[in-house]
Amino acid sequence: MNTASDYIEDLQTNGRLVFTTNDAVEALGKSVAAVRAQLRRLKEKGRIADPHRGFHVVVPPKYRRLGCLPPDHFIPQLMEHLGQPYYAALLSAAAYHGAAHQAPMVFQVMVPRSRRGLECGGVRVHFVARQDMMSTAVVERDTPTGVLRVASPAATAVEVVGYPEHCGFLDNVATVLAELAESIDADVLEAEARRAPTAWIQRLGYLLVLVKQEELADRMDGVLAERNAFTVALAPWQEMEGTPRDKRWQVAINVDVEPDV
């Protein structure tokens, strides 16, 4: 094996589509500078792409127009490379659970600390920070290159309410909740709610009732009974003074929510 081109062909033959600069240097037995020069030429030809410095993906012909691998084909390996826990979250997770009506333009990944998003060809990945994400219920989904960690349907329901600004705001959040409902395990939802801020639970209860999921909403009553709840705005980015109140959830209804279902 003499060239980087030979190396990536060998990777594909063995079913691998990701590698690091160090992997290539070790395989080719050449200097870092020489290998980087060869990798640059492959990148210019569209045969590889760099989602992150020093981390490369092989781009098969069917993905050349995208200019990268689909994100779920490399995110598990990239996060392992970075030594960071993760899971696919929010609208990206919802799409895996059948709520693909409002599929996101970016791939959303939950991490414990803020980090900059990345772009790779036509792929955009947005990282969202949640400090206690290690306790989130996740499921695993097979991808062509490995296994992807995905927030469970119940965890996704809680988080789309907690991060509405990343989810197309409340009309879209309510739509996602309606589409997720049949996949949500009520016991897991209650467990996830117990980990969540009180305001998230209040808004989630209100929205579940709005989309006619009373049985799931009832579970939020039990969680809130153990908390000291104060009135919160349904839309925290808008004023709530003088707006109607929902007594059950102690929510100020300062925006009309219209799910697309």
- Token readout for 5 is 């081109």
Where would I find the H helices in the chain?
4-13, 21-28, 32-44, 75-82, 90-96, 153-162, 169-180, 186-195, 198-210, 214-224
Query: How confident is the model at residue 260, as a pLDDT?
Result: 81
Over residues 153-198, the pLDDT tens digits come to 999 999 999 999 999 899 999 999 999 999 999 999 999 999 999 9
> Is-contact 28 35, C-beta < 8 A?
yes
Nearest Cα to Cα of residue 93 among 205, 192, 233: 192
Q: What is the pLDDT of residue 78?
A: 96
Ranges of residues in the chain with a pLDDT under 70 are 1, 100-104
Please state, in angstroms and rounded to a whole number, the distance separating the CA atoms of residues 57 and 131. Answer: 29
pLDDT of residue 105: 81
Domain annotation for the chain: domains and CATH numbers: 4-63 (1.10.10), 71-252 (no CATH)
Q: What is the pLDDT of residues 135-155, one digit of tens each?
A: 999 999 998 888 999 999 999
165 SS3 class: helix
Q: What pLDDT score was predicted for residue 103?
A: 61
For residue 43, how many C-alpha atoms fall within 13 Å in the half-sphere facing its CB? Answer: 17
How far apart (Å, rounded) are the C-alpha atoms in residues 84 and 143?
Answer: 19
CA dihedral angle for residue 14, residue 20, residue 25, residue 27, rounded to 10 degrees? -20
Closest CA to 63 of 143, 4, 122, 141: 122
Structure tokens at 11: 């990777």
